[in-house]
Structure 1
């Protein structure tokens, strides 16, 4: 079973971009800048886009929360290694 969200990047193609992948229906990939979740944001829908803007907004809020927590966790891990 996959986690609900995954973080992906492609430093060979887009150095300043990161992607949050939503693995549950409706599946999508959310592109954003490393500097901010809503900066340079674009949603690539794998499944059909939800009709409700409220559903999209909720998905984006959950994705942002996941992204921020992952960044914080990575910082904590790197701090512990030093």
Structure 2
């Protein structure tokens, strides 16, 4: 079983962006700006049919953003512990 969210990047082609992949239905990918993760000018790519309800879409994006922020904080804490 896959985790609900995965982080992806392509630092060679898009060094200022990071992606969060939602693996459950509806599957989608959210493109975040690494310089400002909370920037609302994000792109969402749908692998499945996008929900018709904008509030549902906003909730999916909010969950993706929270996941990314938590993962980056965990990574930062892990790196701090190593030093």
TM-score tier, shorter chain, comes to over 0.9
Between structures 1 and 2, the one with greater strand share: 1
Tell me the equivalent position of 1:4: 4
Q: Distance in 2 between matches of 1:45 and 1:38?
A: 20
Q: Which runs of 5+ in 1 are unaligned?
A: none
TM-score by length of structure 1 reads 0.94
Tell me the equivalent position of 1:44: 45
Tell me the equivalent position of 1:24: 24
Number of equivalent positions: 82
Aligned 1:70-81 pairs, distance under 5 A? 70-81=71-82
Q: Which runs of 5+ in 2 are unaligned?
A: none
Q: Distance in 2 between matches of 1:62 and 1:42?
A: 15
Cα distance, 1:24 vs structure 2: 0.6
Aligned 1:51-62 pairs, distance under 5 A? 51-62=52-63
Cα RMSD (Å)? 1.0
